Amino acid sequence: MDYADNGVASAYWEISRELKFWQAPVAIHVEYNGGLAKGLGSYNDAYLAGVTYSWNDKDFNSGFTFTPMYKYLAKHDKKTLVATNRYMVYELLQSLAHL
């Protein structure tokens, strides 16, 4: 939400879910991005779908995810492929916190 003196100026959402009903390290990724802006109308709605691969260390102190996705922009002819990575390194963050 973007607040201005006369109220809310805009709102933007990114809603994503990892759907996993099994034990394998693979999940189905679905996502919606969009919102509204005062005076501009709405942001372009984007719908994303893909597969997420996750790996975690046995003690969950580190891990990563990789998600290649198909991105569809509503009201546009543009279709793109997107890939995201996330790294989790708990021990590194803990050691930096003690500096």
Mean pLDDT of the region 16-25? 91
Which pLDDT band, with edges at 50, 70 and 90, does 35 fall under? confident
Q: How far apart are CA 51 and CA 29, in angstroms?
A: 5
Q: Is the pLDDT of residue 26 over 90?
A: yes
Which pLDDT band, with edges at 50, 70 and 90, does 49 fall under? very high
Q: Which residues pair with 82 in a beta bridge?
A: 69
Mean pLDDT of the region 47-72? 85
Q: How far apart are CA 74 and CA 86, in angstroms?
A: 26
Q: Which residue has the tokens 């990575």?
A: 85
Query: Is residue 10 a contact partner of residue 2, using CB atoms and an 8 Å limit?
Result: yes
Higher pLDDT: 58 or 86? It is 58
Predicted confidence at residue 51, as pLDDT, reads 92
Which pLDDT band, with edges at 50, 70 and 90, does 63 fall under? confident
